[in-house]
Amino acid sequence: MKKTVLLLMALSIIFVSAEAKSKKAKKTNVLPVVEKVFTNEIDSMSYALGLNVGADFSKNIAGIPGGKSNIDLIIKGFTTAMKGDSALMTSEFANEYFKTFITKAQKAGVEAKKADGEKFLAANMSQEGVNVTPSGLQYKVLVPADGKKPSAQDTVKVHYHGTLVDGKVFDSSVSRGEPIEFPLNQVIKGWTEGVQLMSVGSKFKFFIPYNLGYGEQGAGGVIAPFSTLIFEVELLGIKTFVEPKPEVAPEIVPAKVTKAVKTVKKK
């Protein structure tokens, strides 16, 4: 029952999306071309449903780790299940096999990502102007400047542009047109270490290995595990950290103790 409800919800989303596209087409005076209407409404609806589900599903399978699949066998398995025909696998075996395949493919993808990053950094460190710190952070000075450098506790104001080694942009204050401020000890290790090398007005390019970035977990579905990160950073300002003064407890003055006076009555 639960699976049926989820399927119906998914189908409703597909048709809402299709309706939105249809309305957009009407606004631009572009009408969809009807090539075939079947002899009855059920057949027409069924074919329309198949087209919508198929179009949506084709986008989803592109995200399968490795990016490969056999479309003909997907259709065969789908048709077999829909018709209730005899299948070549039990549903239990199919579920376990699919999960095992995805886990294995994801692991292979992660290992490939790690290897690509290590290969990139190994080649990059020999490039002209690239410096390497003991932690493995690589940096290049694009615009030099003299002056005070921030400490890890300071708040810095920066403009930055972040990409992966393949050039894909995952974050950029430059694109947003607005710099950002943050305490330097509350970001990834590569930033904390690297920005401390900068003076206000300078611009550096950082090449950050995964262990100084988002590590083995990645971040937000945008940065994959073991990703090497590349940042161009311009330091715009520094707000020096001020150690808060400890609160002084108020002085407690003991109350004066007065001796009781014994009153003697005269006889």
CATH number at 235 reads 3.10.50.40
137 shares a domain with 34: no
Where in the sequence is the domain holding 21, given as residue range(s)?
Answer: 1-62
Instruction: Give strand pairing partners of 183.
Output: 155
Whether residue 68 is contained in a domain is answered as: no
Closest C-alpha among 201, 194, 206 to residue 144: 201
pLDDT of residue 188: 96
Is pLDDT above 60 for 120?
yes
Q: Write down how long the chain is.
A: 267
pTM, two decimal places = 0.64
Look up residue 36 and give its two tokens.
Answer: 């075939």
Q: Assess whether 152 and 233 both reside in one domain.
A: yes
Catalytic residues: 160, 170-171, 188, 214, 231
Rounded average pLDDT over 103-127: 91
Whether residues 129 and 52 share a domain: the answer is no
Is 82 within a domain? no
Task: Look at residues 62, 92, 110 and tell me which one is the last residue of a structural domain.
Answer: 62
Q: What is the pLDDT of residues 234-243, one digit of tens each?
A: 999 999 987 7
Whether residue 155 is contained in a domain is answered as: yes
**Does residue 70 lie in a domain region?**
no
pLDDT band at 75 (very low <50, low <70, confident <90, very high): confident
Q: Say if 250 falls within a structural domain.
A: no
Q: Is the pLDDT of residue 1 over 50?
A: no
Of the listed ranges 66-70, 122-126, 173-177, 185-189, the one predicted with least confidence: 66-70
pLDDT of residue 4 exceeding 50, the answer is no
- Residue 171 lies inside a defined structural domain of this protein: yes
pLDDT at 33: 60
Tell me: pLDDT of 64 over 70: yes
Structural domain total, the chain: 2
CB atoms near residue 188 (< 10 Å): 16
Examine residue 263 and state whether it is found in any structural domain, yes or no.
Answer: no
DSSP one-letter code for 256 = P
Q: Kindly report which listed range (44-58, 112-126, 203-217) carries the lowest average pLDDT score.
A: 44-58
Q: Side chain identity at 208, as an amino acid letter? A: I
